[in-house]
C-alpha cells in the first residue's frame, strides 16, 4: 500500500486546478476531435442532470436515473477502444464530469468501476491526458485513497497508477515521494511478498515505470535487487509477475553505471537467462564449466513467451552496452545459451516470429534511452553476432559505451 505519513491529509477537489490548461485543451480538442461542442454538452447533461429536476424524481424512479448514468458511462467506456475517444475524454468538460463522479464518495461502485476503465483505456494511449489528470485533478491522491482501502477496485486503481507512471514518471514520483519517502520500497514489498496476488504485479508495473528515473534505478539496484531476482524463474507460477520482474532487470541494465553492481551477483545473470534454459541444450564440457553454477545442470524447459523473451534479449543487449558487460557475458557462457536457444526456436518453427514486437529497439519509458540493434532485423541473431566478436574486433576504448556510438550514428 501507499502508507502515507501520519500527518498527511489528502484533500480531493473535483474542480480543475489549472483553468488555463483547460482552455488550451478545449482548443486542441476542437481542432482534432470529430466530436463537436454540442455532442459534448449532451454527454455532460446525461451525466450531470439538473439538481432541481433530480429532487423531484420519485424514490421509486431513482433506480432508472442511476441506470441512465451508468448507460452513458458504459457508452463512453465502449468507445474508448477507438482512438478518437482519447480526444473526447481529454475535453475539459468531459474530464471534469468524469473526475467529479469519481471523486464523489456517493458514486456507486459499479459507476466508479466504469470510470476507472475509461481512464485506464485512455491514459494508456495519451501522455497529455495522463498529465492533465495528475496536474489538474490530483489523480495520484485519488488513487492513493482508493488503494489504501479494501474496496473492490484496487486492481483497477493500481493499473491506472501504472499507466500514469508509464506516461509521466517524474510527475507521479514527485507526488508519491512527497507523501512517503519510502513509497518505492512499499511497492516492491507489495510486488515481491505475494501477500496480495491480485494487485501485487500491478505495483511491480508501477515500479518498472518509475525505474526509468536514474535515482530510482540506483535505489532499486542497491536496496531491493535480491527481492525480485527469484521472481524471474520457473519457481514463480505467475506469468505476469515473471515478466514484470524481468522488465525491472531490463530497466536497471540500461544504466551502464550499474553494470558492475548487477554483474557482481551471479544470481543476476541466472535470473535473466534461466527462463530460456532447457535440459535439452547441447553443451561441451568446456562450455558447461563457463555457465553460472546454478545453470550448469539445469533440468527444466524454456518458460518464455514473446514478452518475456523480449525482456531477456533486451536486457542482455543493454548489458552489452559496456565493455564490462560484454566481457562478463562471454566469460559466463551466455553466448552458448543463446546459441542453443536459437536452435530451439528454429526447431519450434518460431524463428520467423523473432523480433516481432520486441522491445530490443524500444525505449524503457516515454523519455527513455534507445538501444540500437546493429541494423539487424533479428535481435537474438544480432546479440549472438556481437558476443562472438572479441573486444579487439569491436574496436572501442574501454571507457566508451557501444550504445552511445550507435546513437551518434
Q: pLDDT tens, 301-337?
A: 888 888 999 999 999 999 999 999 999 999 999 999 9
The total number of structural domains in the chain stands at: 2
Does residue 192 form part of some domain? no
**Domain containing residue 92:** 1-179
pLDDT band at 366 (very low <50, low <70, confident <90, very high): very low
Does residue 218 form part of some domain? no
Does residue 346 form part of some domain? yes
Does residue 191 form part of some domain? no
Does residue 406 form part of some domain? yes
Q: Are residues 232 and 154 in the same domain?
A: no
Assess whether pLDDT exceeds 80 at residue 15.
Answer: no
pLDDT for res 216: 97
pLDDT for res 18: 63
pLDDT for res 387: 93
Q: pLDDT tens, 259-282?
A: 999 999 989 999 999 999 999 999
Q: Tell me the three cell numbers of residue 389.
A: 566478436
Q: pLDDT tens, 130-162?
A: 999 999 899 999 998 888 776 788 899 999 999
Listed residues 179, 196, 213: the one ending a domain: 179
Q: pLDDT tens, 71-92?
A: 889 988 988 877 767 777 878 8
The three-state (H, E, C) secondary structure of the chain, written as one string = CCCCCCCCCCCCCCCCCCHHHHHHHHHHHHHHCCCCHHHHHHHHHHHCCCHHHHHCCCHHHHHHHHHHHHHHHHHHHHHCCCCHHHHHHHCHHHHHHHHHHHHCCCCCHHHHHHHHHHHHHHHCCCHHHHHHHHHHHCHHHHHHHHHCCCCCCHHHHHHHHHHHHHHCHHHHHHHHHHHCCCHHHHHHHHHHHCCCCCCHHHHHHHHHHHCCCHHHHHHHHHHCHHHHHHHHCCCCCCHHHHHHHHHHHHHHHCCHHHHHHHHCCHHHHHHHHHHHCCCCCCCCHHHHHHCCHHHCCCCCCCCCCHHHHHHHHHHHHHHCCCHHHHHHHHHCCHHHHHHHHHHHHHHCCCHHHCCCCCHHHCCCCCCCCCCCCCCCCCHHHHHHHHHCCCHHHHCCCCCCCHHHHHHHC
Q: Are residues 5 and 88 in the same domain?
A: yes
Q: Tell me the three cell numbers of residue 353.
A: 516470429
Question: Of all residues in the chain, what percent carry a pLDDT higher than 70?
Answer: 80
Q: Are residues 23 and 161 in the same domain?
A: yes
Q: Are residues 321 and 400 in the same domain?
A: yes
- d(CA 400, CA 402) in angstroms, rounded, equals 6
Q: Are residues 144 and 5 in the same domain?
A: yes
Q: Are residues 334 and 231 in the same domain?
A: yes
CB atoms within 10 A of CB 279: 9
pLDDT for res 365: 40
Rounded mean pLDDT, 190-205:
87
Rounded mean pLDDT, 222-242:
91
The CATH number that applies at residue 321 is 1.25.10
Assess whether pLDDT exceeds 60 at residue 124.
Answer: yes
Q: How far apart, in Å, are the Cα atoms of 386 and each of 286, 370, 374?
A: 21, 18, 9
Q: Are residues 288 and 356 in the same domain?
A: yes
Listed residues 146, 179, 212: the one ending a domain: 179
pLDDT for res 31: 56
Q: Are residues 247 and 386 in the same domain?
A: yes
pLDDT for res 214: 96
Does residue 76 form part of some domain? yes
Q: Are residues 244 and 321 in the same domain?
A: yes
- d(CA 57, CA 64) in angstroms, rounded, equals 10
pLDDT for res 29: 54
Q: Are residues 127 and 276 in the same domain?
A: no
Rounded mean pLDDT, 294-305:
89
pLDDT for res 24: 61
pLDDT band at 371 (very low <50, low <70, confident <90, very high): very low
Does residue 29 form part of some domain? yes
Q: Are residues 45 and 141 in the same domain?
A: yes
**Mean pLDDT over all residues of the chain?**
82
Does residue 388 form part of some domain? yes
Assess whether pLDDT exceeds 60 at residue 12.
Answer: no
Assess whether pLDDT exceeds 60 at residue 47.
Answer: yes
Q: Are residues 295 and 242 in the same domain?
A: yes
Assess whether pLDDT exceeds 90 at residue 406.
Answer: no
Q: How far apart, in Å, are the Cα atoms of 155 and each of 116, 243, 389?
A: 10, 18, 46
Amino acid at each position: 500500500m501507499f502508507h502515507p505519513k501520519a500527518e498527511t491529509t489528502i484533500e480531493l477537489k473535483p474542480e480543475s486546478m489549472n483553468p488555463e490548461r483547460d482552455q488550451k485543451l478545449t482548443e486542441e480538442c476542437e481542432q482534432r476531435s470529430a466530436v463537436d461542442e454540442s455532442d459534448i454538452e449532451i454527454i455532460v447533461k446525461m451525466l450531470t442532470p439538473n439538481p432541481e429536476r433530480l429532487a423531484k424524481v420519485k424514490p421509486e424512479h431513482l433506480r432508472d436515473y442511476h441506470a441512465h448514468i451508468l448507460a452513458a458511462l458504459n457508452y463512453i467506456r465502449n468507445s474508448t477502444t477507438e482512438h478518437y475517444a482519447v480526444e473526447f475524454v481529454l475535453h475539459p468538460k468531459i474530464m471534469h464530469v468524469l473526475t467529479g463522479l469519481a471523486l464523489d464518495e456517493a458514486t456507486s461502485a459499479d459507476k466508479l468501476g466504469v470510470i476507472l476503465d475509461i481512464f485506464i483505456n485512455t491514459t494508456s494511449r495519451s501522455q497529455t491526458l495522463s498529465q492533465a489528470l495528475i496536474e489538474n485533478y490530483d489523480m495520484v491522491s485519488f488513487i492513493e485513497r482508493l488503494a489504501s482501502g479494501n474496496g473492490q477496485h484496487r486492481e483497477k486503481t493500481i493499473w491506472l497508477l501504472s499507466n500514469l507512471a508509464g506516461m509521466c514518471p517524474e510527475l507521479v514520483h514527485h507526488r508519491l515521494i512527497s507523501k512517503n519517502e519510502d513509497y518505492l520500497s512499499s511497492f516492491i514489498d507489495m510486488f515481491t511478498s505475494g501477500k496480495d496476488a491480485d494487485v501485487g504485479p500491478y505495483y511491480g508495473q508501477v515500479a518498472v515505470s518509475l525505474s526509468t528515473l536514474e535515482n530510482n534505478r540506483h535505489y532499486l539496484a542497491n536496496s531491493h535487487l535480491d527481492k525480485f531476482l527469484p521472481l524471474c524463474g520457473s519457481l514463480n507460477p505467475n506469468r505476469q509477475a515473471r515478466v514484470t520482474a524481468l522488465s525491472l532487470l531490463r530497466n536497471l541494465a540500461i544504466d551502464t553505471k550499474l553494470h558492475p553492481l548487477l554483474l557482481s551477483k551471479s544470481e543476476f545473470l541466472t535470473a535473466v537467462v534461466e527462463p530460456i534454459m532447457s535440459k535439452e541444450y547441447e553443451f561441451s564440457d568446456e562450455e558447461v564449466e563457463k555457465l553460472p553454477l546454478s545453470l550448469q545442470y539445469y533440468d527444466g524447459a524454456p518458460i518464455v513467451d514473446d514478452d518475456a523473451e523480449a525482456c531477456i534479449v533486451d536486457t542482455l543487449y543493454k548489458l552489452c552496452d559496456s565493455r564490462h558487460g560484454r566481457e562478463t557475458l562471454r566469460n559466463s557462457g551466455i553466448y552458448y545459451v543463446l546459441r542453443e536457444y536459437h536452435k530451439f526456436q528454429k526447431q519450434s518453427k518460431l524463428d520467423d516470429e523473432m523480433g516481432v514486437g520486441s522491445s530490443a529497439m524500444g525505449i524503457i519509458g516515454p523519455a527513455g534511452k534507445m538501444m540500437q540493434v546493429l541494423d539487424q532485423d533479428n535481435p537474438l541473431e544480432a546479440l549472438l553476432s556481437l558476443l562472438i566478436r572479441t573486444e579487439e574486433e569491436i574496436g572501442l576504448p574501454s571507457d566508451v559505451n557501444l550504445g552511445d556510438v550507435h546513437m551518434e550514428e
